[in-house]
Amino acid sequence: MPRRALLVGINDYQKISDLRGCLNDVSNMRSILKTYLGFRNNDIRVLSENRATKENILHRLRWMVKLARPGDFMIFHFSGHGSQIRDRNGDELEDGLDELICPFDCDWDGRFILDDDLDEIFRGLPKNALLEVFLDCCHSGDGTRGISRTGHQQEHSAASRYLEPPLDIRFRYEDEENELSATRGFQSGNRSGNRSMQNHILWSACQSDQESADACISGVYNGAFTYYFCKHIRETGGFVSRRNLLERIRNSLHHNGYPQYPQLTCAKEADFENRPLQFPSSDEPERLLFLTTPYMRGNDVKKIQQALAKAGFSIIADGVFGPHTYETIRQFQEKNNLAIDGIVGKTVRAMLY
């Protein structure tokens, strides 16, 4: 199965304020792809610093989509500044905001990459190809570089990855906030509600009204979202559903005081339960199910619970592998003379099904 990745990171911008953790984000994601997911050097393209221009980013994305065939899997990860501007159609204002990512050569005269630009490219993906997109930037802010933090642990300083538009851009929609559409940009569709999500999955570092942290963690600058994404991939070996991974990342950010709430958008419900950063094959082995924090969730858990109920055990099929499911598995194992560990693997499944 062909796989390709484009990783973009920019610390040293040509005309706008610099960041510190974006190159580390690229290195971290590249390590994950190679160590846990079988990507080779030739499968991964990196654009960083002055090579990450608008022209180069769009060229590489078009190249990746052009080569895509059914069954291919692709990754686009961007780490840098983001912003948003009022959408304009010629001289007429429309309701809504365009969210954007900022390339190395970003300026406010068109040198930025809009959500519409990405959507146009992604619409070229063939059916049954899959693209997983990661945006470790933010598209809203209060005009300050600092981020307020309220968690239990205090790591070092953190700065926002939001770029405030200049006055002339901001004044285009001053006092018109109430007219803006509720759905907008990367995260929830464009103004007309026809944002294409048919064959790509989107991870966003924060909600559209939050800031994404460029943070010093254990003495090294990283994007807080990318750092905890990679941390939990390593801890689980990649054997974790997207839904469960999202919950882990949110918990880590909250515990460490980062006021950002990452978002995950999938076209199909099944994509939430599949593993991240890979295209599930029809013969992919089912994951081990066990008690962990946060709890595992998904249709595979629900299927086990339904089988236990059919076998006469008292259990609710809610799709959550909590303490009661764990204890019920242990009861099933004891009754069938199996090792009593509360883990659902091949042996337990074979006896239940």
| 333 C-beta neighbours (distance < 10 Å), count | 19
Q: How far is CA 281 from the centre of its chain?
A: 21
Concatenating the DSSP letter of every residue in 258-301 gives -----EEE-SSHHHHHSPTTS---TTPPPPPB---SSPEESHHH
Cα gap 80→13, rounded to integer Å: 9
Cα gap 58→154, rounded to integer Å: 38
Residues catalogued as catalytic:
81, 138
Contacts for 225 with CB less than 8 Å, ≥ 6 apart: 136, 203, 205, 206, 212, 213, 249, 253, 260, 262
Q: How far is CA 57 from the centre of its chain?
A: 19
Using only C-alpha atoms, the chain has a radius of gyration, in whole angstroms, of 22
